[in-house]
């Protein structure tokens, strides 16, 4: 056992990568607007370290607008094959231009073109409109680099709480909670299932 929730998360994620059939980095991202109305969607974890958990998106999307109005979020990883889940809650910050550029450069060309062509979360009259915009972007950047839109980049959830949940028989689950301590470090405890 470790008293470092980030090390424990890394170990659990490694287990998930070895056993989950699809997208072990898939995570539910919950946000709320300024009035507190919640919204949740699946995204992919693209980075994790002691500073937090990083996902990427369009700042003008619904999640981006909600995070601008209320920069707090919750994440939920659910690894069914392992009968485990991890919950993370915390403040959200923009990762910055350099980190966003570095991740953008790792994305496939078609993914970059799609992100550039999409008005994510906005109403779309028909699928062909989006496909035409992708093709127009493909033609515009033929033979060249696809630039990262200024409104696209990463968000980091800086954890204040991390809960590790392990399924046990008869619903006698194990719940281990880490809470960020003032001045650094973590306090740890167990929760009733």
Tens of pLDDT along 101-120? 999 999 999 999 999 999 88
Confidence of residue 133 (pLDDT cuts 50, 70, 90): very high
Residue 21: per-residue pLDDT: 85
Q: Locate the domains of the chain by residue range.
A: 5-97+151-191
pTM of the model: 0.92
- Residue written as tokens 């003032």? 182
**Residue 52 token pair:** 């937090």
Please compute the mean of the pLDDT values over residues 129-157 and round it to a whole number: 95
With contact defined as beta carbons under 8 Å apart, do 162 and 9 qualify? yes
Please compute the mean of the pLDDT values over residues 69-97 and round it to a whole number: 97
Mean pLDDT of the chain: 95
Whether 176 is a known active-site residue: answer: no
Residues of the chain above pLDDT 70, percent = 99
- Superfamily for 5-97+151-191? Electron Transport, Fmn-binding Protein; Chain A (2.30.110.10)
Confidence of residue 3 (pLDDT cuts 50, 70, 90): confident
Q: Mind listing the pLDDT tens digit for each residue in 13-24?
A: 999 999 998 999
**Which of 65, 161, 171, 176 is the catalytic position?**
171
Please compute the mean of the pLDDT values over residues 9-14 and round it to a whole number: 97
- Residue written as tokens 């072990």? 24
Please compute the mean of the pLDDT values over residues 150-155 and round it to a whole number: 95
Identify the CA nearest to 76 among candidates 163, 12, 11, 4: 163
Residue 148 CA: distances (Å) to CA of 41, 107, 124, 139, 151: 23, 10, 22, 16, 8
Q: How far apart are CA 76 and CA 48, in angstroms?
A: 14
Helix H segments across the chain?
A: 5-19, 62-69, 97-106, 109-117, 127-140
**Residue 122 token pair:** 């906005």
């Amino acid at each position: 056992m470790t008293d470092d929730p980030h090390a424990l998360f890394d170990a659990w994620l490694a287990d998930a990568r070895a056993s989950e059939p699809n997208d072990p980095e898939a995570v539910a991202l919950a946000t709320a607007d300024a009035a507190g109305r919640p919204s949740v969607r699946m995204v992919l974890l693209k980075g994790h370290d002691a500073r937090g958990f990083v996902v990427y998106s369009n700042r003008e999307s619904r999640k981006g607008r909600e995070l601008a109005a209320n920069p707090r979020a919750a994440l939920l990883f659910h690894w069914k094959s392992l009968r485990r889940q991890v919950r993370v809650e915390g403040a959200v910050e923009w990762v910055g231009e350099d980190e966003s550029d570095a991740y953008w450069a790792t994305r496939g060309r078609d993914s970059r073109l799609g992100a550039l062509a999409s008005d994510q979360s906005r109403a779309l009259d028909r699928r062909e409109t989006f496909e035409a915009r992708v093709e127009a972007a493909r033609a515009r950047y033929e033979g060249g680099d696809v630039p990262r839109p200024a409104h696209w980049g990463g968000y980091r959830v800086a954890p204040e709480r991390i809960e590790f949940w392990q399924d046990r028989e008869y619903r006698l689950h194990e719940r281990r909670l880490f809470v960020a301590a003032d001045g650094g470090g973590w306090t740890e405890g167990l929760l009733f299932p």
